[in-house]
Structure 1
Amino acid sequence: MSIIRALNQAIGQLNDPAFRRVILLGFGLSLLVFLLLLGGLIALVPLIPESGIDWIDKAVIWLAGLGVPLIFALVTWLLFPAVMTSITSLFLDDVVDAVEALHYPDLAGWRASPLHEVIWLGLRLSLLIVLINLLALPLYLTLLFTGFGTLALYLAINGYLLGREYYEMVAVRHATPKNAGHLRKQNRDKAFLGGLMIALLFMIPVLNLMAPVIGIAMMVHLFHDKQENKPESRRVN
């Protein structure tokens, strides 16, 4: 199955009640997180110590006023996938259930992911995205002058991370966590291409609000690709 076909099938199921519920929950809670972040940045501005020199203090306030929205925009751009995915991952099992019930009723996952496992997968992805993107920040800034290098690096890093974690979120319903990792490694190209598409979705206005749901639904289709005639693949202990 091609990435485009899997994406089209995922988008075609957006009217499913399970999809709508998870999208609304993920968007609402993520919006709250970023509003709190913006409020925190604004609250820090008055705490900047004064120098006692009028023009310097005015310049600092002006720079702070300019810097807050820039910092907020940069942090939002870099961390939105992590925050949205972390929050939405708590509810993504419902999306996987809906996709498998409609398209793969005979290949549905045999194990329900325990809550602690779901939380861990979401937190692991969020921490990896935050840490690696922060480490890559000097490179992002350096590559800004190339015109395309920052975008290419961003997609490569986040495509790998999102593909890895989203694939395992699906695989872990069909295998133990350890073997889910093995399944992902066996399909690393498929997982990376899926992750690359998810990273692109996060960059498109409006679609980025639905990216985690579309992404996990697409990954279900990619996971089950060529599995229909392999009943032994239904359970990996």
Structure 2
Amino acid sequence: MIIEAARLAVANLLAPETRAVFWKVLGITLLVLVGLWLALHGAFNSFALPWLQAFFPDIPSWVGWLAYAFAVVAGFGLAISLSLLLSPVTALIAGLFLDDVAEVVEQRDYSGDAPGRAMPFGPAMVSSLKFLFVVVIGNIFALILLFVPVVNLAAFFMVNGYLLGREFFEFAAMRFRPPDEARLFRAKHGSTVFLGGLLISAFLAIPIVNLLTPFFAAAMMVHLHKLLSRKDPSFSENLRR
């Protein structure tokens, strides 16, 4: 079931509609990072350099050139630092477009089923921030165990497998179920969802490719929710009894 959901998700990543969403998210991400670089670099030139000149008005001219060179190096360093934020910022912005990915999956592979309900902008933003938060916390926890042999790799997959599986499955489930029911459905099929999360963690561990993680995870969990719903069709009825 999990392998089938992953296979279908990869096929959905290649769909023109999904590629369009990805390029849109990547474009917004790059604009945000460039804007942040310009703001921080401008702030450095506007405040740090004048402060240096004000406190040392009689410094030799070569020191001024040294300060200019330092500003250039700082600009490159800032650019490299911001490049490290490419993946998490992409994940944050992608969280606002996950419903678009889910709709592509539902229209292409489940056109005969009732469509899901997209989250309003406010809850979508909260969900996006929550997703970023759990990923950051999960990786900090894994980083703490970085120097513990064997445990470090296991920690990365276990923590991210649980968090990513939970968040993305509940996202997919809440398109068709009330939040409380979605959480209970995820809890009932927790082992399957966790294994799906481990597969997402493996995807996350691949450099460059991991920029597609939110799209792969959303598509995969939409498929997994559909497959589990067909396997357990009486869940909602039993819950209401």
Is the structural similarity TM-score above 0.5?
A: yes
Q: Distance in 2 between matches of 1:229 and 1:192?
A: 17
1:152–1:13 CA distance, 2 compared to 1 (3 A): same
Paired residue secondary structure (2:177): coil
Give TM-score scaled by structure 2 length: 0.72
Find 1:114's aligned residue among 109, 120, 124: 120
1:28–1:202 CA distance, 2 compared to 1 (3 A): farther
Q: Show CA shifts across 1:102-126 (max 9, x none).
A: 3233444453422322222112212
Residue 89 (structure 1) aligned with residue 95 (structure 2): yes
Paired residue secondary structure (2:117): coil
Q: CA deviation at 1:73?
A: 6.4
Q: Distance in 2 between matches of 1:88 and 1:147?
A: 34
5+ long unaligned stretches in structure 1: none
| Aligned-residue CA RMSD (Å) | 3.8
Matches within 5 A, 1:199-218: 199-218=201-220
1:27 match = 26
- Does the 8 Å contact 1:101/1:108 carry over to 2? no
1:182 match = 184
Q: Distance in 2 between matches of 1:156 and 1:33?
A: 31
Structure 1 stretches of at least 4 aligned residues deviating more than 6 Å after TM superposition: 43-52, 63-67, 234-237
Paired residue secondary structure (2:205): coil
- Does the 8 Å contact 2:138/2:163 carry over to 1? no
- Does the 8 Å contact 2:5/2:223 carry over to 1? yes
5+ long unaligned stretches in structure 2: 57-62
Give TM-score scaled by structure 1 length: 0.73
- Does the 8 Å contact 1:23/1:209 carry over to 2? no
Partner amino acid for 2:143? Answer: Y
Q: Show CA shifts across 1:108-153 (max 9, x none).
A: 44534223222221122123333x257x36x62562x446544432
For these two proteins, the number of residue pairs brought into alignment is: 227
- Does the 8 Å contact 1:198/1:212 carry over to 2? no
1:231–1:140 CA distance, 2 compared to 1 (3 A): closer
Q: CA deviation at 1:173?
A: 0.9
1:223 match = 225
Q: CA deviation at 1:233?
A: 5.4
Partner amino acid for 2:197? Answer: G
